[in-house]
Amino acid sequence: MIDYIENEYAKYWIEKNILYFVYKDGLSIDLSIAIKVVEDRLFLQQGEAFLILCDMRGIKSINKSARNYLAVEGSVLIKAVALLINTPLTNAISGFYIKTSNPTIVTKAFTEKEDALKFLNSENP
C-alpha cells in the first residue's frame, strides 16, 4: 500500500489512521489545483475513509470555485477535517471556507496541532 504522495502543491501521508495533508508555501489554489489534490488524496486512500489533518498554513489564496469543489466533491471518503492555521490570513481563509462553502463533513480550524489531533480522535467512531 502507498503511504506517501507528494506533488507540486502538497504532500500527503497516513499515520495512525489519520491522513496528513500539507499544502506547500505560497500556494494560490484554483479549481485545477483543487481537483489535482483531491485526485491524489483519493489515490492514496485506496477507497478507505480517513480523518484528515490539513495543514493550510502555506496557502496564500483560494478562489470560489476551488472552495466549492473542496467542500463537496473534495469531501469524499473523509470522516472529519481539522484545518491547521497560523496567521490572520489562513484564519480568514478557513473561516470563510467553513461559513460560505458549507463543507459536507465536520470541519474545524486549529492553531495547535495537538488540539487538531484531539478533535480528530474525538470524531473517530
Q: Which band of pLDDT confidence, cut at 50, 70 and 90, is reported for residue 91?
A: confident
User: What is the pLDDT, as a whole number, of residue 3?
Assistant: 87
- Across the beta sheet with 18-23, the strand order is 4-6, 10-15, 18-23, 50-55, 78-84, 107-110
Contact assessment for residue 88 and residue 112, using Cβ atoms and an 8 Å cutoff: no
Tell me if 12 sits within 8 A of 24, measured CB to CB: no
Q: What is the mean pLDDT of residues 47-76?
A: 93
What pTM did the predictor assign? 0.90
* CATH of segment(s) 4-120: 3.30.750.24
What are the domain boundaries of the chain? 4-120
- Which band of pLDDT confidence, cut at 50, 70 and 90, is reported for residue 1? low
